[in-house]
A and B are shown apart, each in its own frame.
Chain A
Amino acid sequence: DAGITQSPRYKITETGRQVTLMCHQTWSHSYMFWYRQDLGHGLRLIYYSAAADITDKGEVPDGYVVSRSKTENFPLTLESATRSQTSVYFCASSAGQFRHEQYFGPGTRLTVT
């Protein structure tokens, strides 16, 4: 099925554990993004990628790592999860820069206990 998917949809993990959130898109969009959504903050950009093997920090990158070895995949890793990383994480993709809208995945609700 075409589109942008995220897995898992829900995850509970313990403080200090490493966890990876997956994002996959089938449109061959060059740009991909990771956002977190927290009450009162809207959506904030964590990392983005302009193409395979090209990534850059967003507004709140600390504690996160990304990679993009293939155009269609953009995993987000929390190296050592903290309670402050409890959030809803959205992956998005865009066909190009600037004028192109971003299409969002369904989100992953992560709880760090």
Chain B
Amino acid sequence: AQKVTQAQTEISVVEKEDVTLDCVYETRDTTYYLFWYKQPPSGELVFLIRRNSFDEQNEISGRYSWNFQKSTSSFNFTITASQVVDSAVYFCALRRTYNTDKLIFGTGTRLQVFP
């Protein structure tokens, strides 16, 4: 079965703190894709990153970085020097490469960054 677990329901930090959002996935597929989406208070879903299962290089984009570890089936997301504008719900998602095109979402982690 395919599953994405985001065990942290809610995280609160103070501005400028670093914060890591955990994502653990389950799949028996050898090829798959992982995604992170951001849902700010306004409600829209914003695509952040896509990673395929053959590429375990970590990625950094400004204050955002992602750590993909196939050995532990994890795809964690770190925000460095958090800002109030980072306050949102963050979703991790898994997509298989055959049989279905659907994204399997985790239940999300609500991040609150206080000034």
A contact set with B: CB distance below 8 Å: 31, 33, 40-45, 48, 50, 58-59, 88, 90, 92, 94, 97-99, 101-107
Contact = CB atoms under 8 A, between A and B. Distances in A.
B78 interface: no
B84 interface: no
Given A101-B50, A107-B43, A31 B101 contact: yes
B101 A98 contact: yes
B105 A43 contact: yes
Interface residues of B, number: 22
A22 to B, nearest CB: 17
Given A42-B91, A43-B91, A58 B102 contact: yes
Nearest to B96: A98
A42 B35 contact: no
B33 A59 contact: no
Contact of A107 (B44, B47, B52, B97): B44
A94 B95 CA distance: 12
Contact of B47 (A41, A90, A102): A102
A99 B103 contact: no
A42 B105 contact: yes
B102 A33 contact: yes
Contact of A97 (B44, B101, B107): B101
B44 A98 contact: no
B33 A98 contact: yes
Interface in B61-108: 91, 95-98, 101-103, 105-108
A99 B103 CA distance: 11
Interface in B24-78: 33, 35, 37, 43-47, 50, 52
A102 B47 CA distance: 8
Contact of A43 (B44, B96, B98, B103): B103
14 contacts: A31-B101, A40-B107, A41-B107, A43-B45, A45-B102, A59-B102, A88-B43, A92-B45, A94-B101, A98-B98, A99-B52, A101-B35, A104-B45, A107-B44
